[in-house]
Structure 1
Amino acid sequence: MTAILVVNSGSSSLKYQLIETESERMLAKGLIERIGQERGVSTHATPEGEWSAEPSTPDHEAAFRAMIDAFEEHGPSGIGGLVSAVGHRVVHGGARFFEPTVVTPQVEKDIDELAEYAPLHNPANLAGIRAAQAAFPDVPHVAIFDTAFHQTMPPAAYTYAIDADVAEQYRIRRYGFHGTSHKYVSEKAAAFLGVPLEESRLIVLHLGNGASACAVDGGRSVETSMGFTPLQGLVMGTRSGDLDPAVVFQLARFGGLSLDELDNLLNKRSGMLGLAGSSDLRDVGRKADEGDERARVALDVYCHRIKHYVGAYLAVLGGADAVVFTAGVGENAPGIRAQSLSGLEGLGIAVDAARNRSGERGERRISPDGSPVAVLVIPTNEEVEIARQTAAVVSA
């Protein structure tokens, strides 16, 4: 038996999953937090149980050592001989990376250079790659880029209407993110519907703390809501989503906010947190039910923005086979699903209240039988998609 180790390395965390190559069965998964502090917090789970510890985690290499210790103590043991390749999530591939790529010194250099487009993500992703290479020096390491799936967008979709020379000099364009999730979910949705992927037209709504919409035509991304950075598009946990750029000018000129303060405001203090005081939709929903007016308005704004994109992507695709909800909010918030699609019955989109409120989990249809456009809930599994792409590159 061989397995792919999937790694998602953040600035202060390391998320991992060990996936058996042939069956795609999860053998173990874990999370190590507080990297950079004297003591971290780690969890390690297998089908047999879950364990926690507080290892020393001053850097990413120490976090990987803690991960290997967890495997040896709780299983599967002998991970050094079990792992055939390591797949790494990398947020930004710019216009350089269109597909999964074996990590070489040049690829590392490119990821480092692209950090200017994702300063919160790419440096941490690269730190994880280098630490993993030290821990697993004898197997291939493959970078899977969030932006790669969206490289099929046409120029009309990815081009911003600014001075063309300026845009070219600074590589300003729409890149899009959550590509691994959108790819996985669109393939699953087409299979659920019994429609060939190459003939399908899907609107995928990845709704989590970060959120994005994607129009997928024949398995190819043709439009997505996130842009040059993950800040554009839908309302998110702490990000504003779409905003008139002149708001930034106004806050700088008359509010005296610096560039760093503006960055912090729009990325970390906006979205649901800014509107309702919490980035967790469950908290906001509870507040709204208790009569909190700010929370109610926040939910209205959140759902209105989703509806806006669904309508736009129906036009882009010329119709759709399905609207698909995924990720933490999309999979688990029936109220958000219902409100976001309310009033679209004239476009063939409707939600069956009983199906939507059902406690059923897994892949499911929540639209009435016979609806022209199906409404689906498809759980995402980015780790499995990363493992698939990693295995495909290694075996090619």
Structure 2
Amino acid sequence: MSDHVLVINAGSSSLKYSLVDSASGEAAATGLVEQIGEERSHHVHHGPKGEFNDEQPIANHEAALEAAVRAFETEGPALADVDIVAVGHRVVHGGDRFAAPALVDDELIAAVTDLVPLAPLHNPANLEGIEVARRLLPDLPHVAVFDTAFHQTLPPYAYTYAVPTQWKEQYGIRRYGFHGTSHSFVSAQAARLLGRKPSELNMIVLHLGNGCSAAAIRGGESVDTSMGLTPLEGLVMGTRSGDLDPAIHGLLARVAGRSAEETDHSLNSESGLKGLTGANDFREVSRRRAAGDERAQLAFDIYCQRIKKYIGAYYAVLGTVDAIVFTAGVGQHSAEVRAAAVDGLETLGIRLDPGRNARSELTVSTDDSPVAVLVIPTNEEWQIAREALTVVRR
């Protein structure tokens, strides 16, 4: 029997789960419980019997996980019939305390709780998911896999902000980076595709989904990344602004009477593509752009220009680049974004093949391009499963 890991990703009002074969990456079942705590919650489970949908009130994450366990029993596969070796939990922020996955125990719970001020929107939900799963599945080892861990290889000059030193010492203010699970998986897959060892390659990975981040990876290790203290910094995203002048907070406080909390909420939830067009879904922005919407066109141009800016910056950081890798929903499926992001960079050895790009092939660069341009689907659940397995097999 294959070693399976139950991967859990708990959000503030959602619970996503996947039963993953750690060897092949295939999911025996996946599911999502949304709108937890509302009058009408939605639960979808994809298993051997097909898609199962249910709508009823689900009060909290414990009830959500109980619903997931019931779905496994009725829709399959029954958890008792599967060789589950661990439960892997996605945790957004591990600060500078966790550079690798770790077995969940009371000490880890306390450490992640201490990090809540750095990720108030994410870590509390992640903690709730862990605590609920430990109660309902007490006989299995639980492993925390941190979004920030892959970026703990950043050198001090890349993670240190030019602010008073005591801010870092007292409040932990520094660059941490996120999407590390995706960057780790995709960069390893890119090396396999190129037939090279990760230690031999320099690459720029662009994770472009609702959240977006770039990473400069030298020899398999992250040496710079666009997200910072929080996931707000860097590229333009679905609802996040990305890079901006930090004086905006002070200006809005003076001229509009806005609190720091109000501005922070707007920059995280009402900005990015949503702020520019009213829609955070890139597919909708693309439809409007195709119909001649000028705001959608401007949003597209801003979005792609920011990506190009980071490609250039990270090319300079790395010195030489062997591959540029696009991943996640937009990165995998938007040929237009890929084309715009590398347009004009031929002098850097980046040559796109229009036909391959239009078909979203794994390699979308020309055969003679010194820099390979790749399109690789991410699989964070498989990466979490593999990392969880390494912990329990030590």
> Structure 2-normalised TM-score?
0.97
Partner of 1:394: 392
Q: Which amino acid aligns with 2:7?
A: V
User: Which aligned pairs between 1:64-143 and structure 2 lie closer than 5 A?
Assistant: 64-79=65-80, 82-143=83-144
SS at match of 2:169: helix
Q: Deviations over 1:178-226 (max 9, x none)?
A: 0000000000001101111101101000000000000010110000000
Q: 1:377 to 1:165 in 2, by over 3 A?
A: same
Contact 1:56 1:62 in 2 (8 A): no
Identity over aligned pairs, percent: 56
Contact 2:216 2:223 in 1 (8 A): yes
Residues paired across the two proteins, number: 393
Is it true that 1:321 corresponds to 2:319 in the alignment? no
SS at match of 1:37: coil
SS at match of 1:214: strand
The alpha-carbon deviation at position 294 of structure 1 amounts to 1.1
SS at match of 1:43: strand
The alpha-carbon deviation at position 20 of structure 1 amounts to 2.1
Q: Distance in 2 between matches of 1:372 and 1:271?
A: 33
Task: Point out where structure 1 has 5 or more consecutive residues left out of the alignment.
Answer: none
Q: Which amino acid aligns with 2:146?
A: F
Q: Which amino acid aligns with 1:146?
A: D
User: Which aligned pairs between 1:184-195 and structure 2 lie closer than 5 A?
Assistant: 184-195=185-196
Partner of 1:370: 368
Contact 1:213 1:224 in 2 (8 A): yes
Q: Distance in 1 between matches of 2:32 and 2:22?
A: 21
SS at match of 1:123: helix
The alpha-carbon deviation at position 54 of structure 1 amounts to 1.9
Q: Distance in 1 between matches of 2:48 and 2:338?
A: 31
Q: Distance in 1 between matches of 2:54 and 2:359?
A: 36
Partner of 2:380: 382
Contact 2:335 2:360 in 1 (8 A): no
The alpha-carbon deviation at position 168 of structure 1 amounts to 1.4
Partner of 2:46: 45
Q: Distance in 2 between matches of 1:131 and 1:200?
A: 41
Deviates most, 8-17 or 288-297 = 288-297
Q: Distance in 1 between matches of 2:195 and 2:21?
A: 27
Contact 1:71 1:79 in 2 (8 A): no
Q: Distance in 2 between matches of 1:201 and 1:18?
A: 33
The alpha-carbon deviation at position 391 of structure 1 amounts to 0.5
The alpha-carbon deviation at position 39 of structure 1 amounts to 3.7
Q: Distance in 1 between matches of 2:75 and 2:188?
A: 34
Q: Which amino acid aligns with 2:384?
A: I
Q: 1:128 to 1:80 in 2, by over 3 A?
A: farther
SS at match of 1:76: coil
SS at match of 1:11: coil
SS at match of 1:343: coil
Is it true that 1:231 corresponds to 2:232 in the alignment? yes
SS at match of 2:245: coil
Q: Distance in 2 between matches of 1:3 and 1:175?
A: 30
Q: Which amino acid aligns with 2:95?
A: G
Q: Distance in 1 between matches of 2:309 and 2:139?
A: 49
Partner of 1:216: 217
User: Which aligned pairs between 1:125-274 and structure 2 lie closer than 5 A?
Assistant: 125-274=126-275
Q: Deviations over 1:119-170 (max 9, x none)?
A: 0100000000011011110111000000000000000100000111222111
Task: Point out where structure 2 has 5 or more consecutive residues left out of the alignment.
Answer: none
The alpha-carbon deviation at position 22 of structure 1 amounts to 3.6
Q: Which amino acid aligns with 1:241?
A: G
Q: Distance in 2 between matches of 1:376 and 1:40?
A: 38
Q: Distance in 2 between matches of 1:20 and 1:267?
A: 35
The alpha-carbon deviation at position 55 of structure 1 amounts to 4.2
SS at match of 1:392: helix
Partner of 1:4: 5
Q: Deviations over 1:268-291 (max 9, x none)?
A: 111000111111111111111222
Contact 2:48 2:76 in 1 (8 A): no
Q: Which amino acid aligns with 1:231?
A: L
The alpha-carbon deviation at position 81 of structure 1 amounts to 6.1
SS at match of 2:109: helix
Partner of 2:280: 279
> Structure 1-normalised TM-score?
0.97
SS at match of 2:300: helix
The alpha-carbon deviation at position 78 of structure 1 amounts to 3.6
Deviates most, 40-49 or 203-212 = 40-49
Q: Distance in 1 between matches of 2:40 and 2:292?
A: 42
The alpha-carbon deviation at position 383 of structure 1 amounts to 0.1
Contact 2:4 2:82 in 1 (8 A): no
Contact 2:331 2:338 in 1 (8 A): yes
Q: Distance in 2 between matches of 1:383 and 1:333?
A: 23
Partner of 1:308: 309
SS at match of 2:161: coil
SS at match of 1:57: coil
SS at match of 1:175: coil
Q: Which amino acid aligns with 2:379?
A: N
SS at match of 2:115: helix
User: Which aligned pairs between 1:331-370 and structure 2 lie closer than 5 A?
Assistant: 331-358=332-359, 364-370=362-368
Contact 2:322 2:372 in 1 (8 A): yes
Q: Say what the alpha-carbon RMSD is for the aligned residues.
A: 1.2
Q: Distance in 2 between matches of 1:252 and 1:274?
A: 19
